Structure 1
Amino acid sequence: MNADWDEVSYVISSSYRVKVLGRLAESPATPSRIAEETDCPIAHISRALRGLRERELVDLLVSEEQQKGRVYGITEQGEEIWETIEAQNLA
């Protein structure tokens, strides 16, 4: 397994990114559900999702035009990064 340590570092440098990626590793979810389940402000969750999406660690599973009920899921790369974070006890 060759982890991308830049990506791992990016995720673990923010507790919100860690919570979002960890939550999406379980199953796809909306930002409001992630915020509710992780007990984090929605603004932080949205920012974390945006950053993770730019790095292709999470993906929007509904059309870009949809404003409400946007469902996000973890990408294959995101799963690899999450597995590394968990394996190395970095979360």
Structure 2
Amino acid sequence: MSAHWDTIGYLISSKYRLAVIHRLANAPATPTQIATDENLSPSHVSRAIQRLADRSIVELAVPETQRKNRLYELTPKGTTLWSEIRTAGLDR
């Protein structure tokens, strides 16, 4: 079993967190792009991003001082977790 199982459980327990990492696995994106691509509310996406950032799963891909068009990307930890989720068939 994965050493990351608690975190994987946390990720797959929310359709919003799962959608965010699914989208960011393809390329960096803004919260608006993620919301549009995944057909979700921007407020839910922003909240999911903040929670994922708190756990070092996603991070800003632009300077912290940039207030508009803030791109987010998966961290190496996030990429590893996404790979484990897909391998286990837990992605959607």
TM-score above 0.5: yes
Partner of residue 82, structure 1: 82
Superposition CA RMSD, Å: 1.3
Alignment of 1:16-55 (within 5 A): 16-55=16-55
Partner of residue 13, structure 2: 13
Identity of aligned residues (%): 43
Deviating beyond 3 angstroms after TM superposition, the runs of 4 or more aligned structure 1 residues are: none
Partner of residue 60, structure 1: 60
CA distance in 2 between counterparts of 1:18 and 1:69 reads 22
CA distance in 1 between counterparts of 2:3 and 2:19 reads 19
Count of paired positions: 91
How does the TM-score come out when normalised to structure 2?
0.93
Higher relative contact order (CA 8 A, sep 6+): 1
- CA deviation string 1:24-77 (max 9, x = no partner): 000000000000000000000001100111110111111222221000001111
Unaligned runs of 5+ in 1: none
